[in-house]
Amino acid sequence: MSKVFSLDTDKRPLNPVHPAQARQLLRNGKAAVLKRFPFTIILKESKPDESVETLRIKIDPGSKTTGIAIINDTNGELIFVAEIQHRGFAIRDALT
């Protein structure tokens, strides 16, 4: 399951939140949508002293696709997963 990235009013990163919690924050007017992909919300209040967990980016390069994952370093939880399709093969296959 993907989590929703979140920022405070000063655009400092916060811990990613569960999609249901993000919907609640948006519905109650405590947050607004900053970006649609990856889905990111910005809170309408500042949280300067909130501790943020460390995240790690893992990349799995392949010949046709590249996998990207963001993982919480402390508990191993999957935060975000994406796959990038390489365009060079689409062009090569179209020519043959």
Question: What is the per-residue pLDDT for 18?
Answer: 94
Q: State the Cα–Cα distance between residues 59 and 68, nearest whole angstrom.
A: 5
pLDDT tens digits, one per residue of 23-56: 999 999 999 999 998 899 999 998 888 888 999 9
Asked whether the predicted pLDDT for residue 89 surpasses 90, the reply is: no
User: Residue 14 burial (CB < 10 Å; 0-12/13-18/19+)?
Assistant: middle
Under the banding of pLDDT at 50, 70 and 90, the label for residue 88 is: confident
Q: What is the pLDDT of residue 60?
A: 95
Predicted local confidence at residue 90, as pLDDT: 64
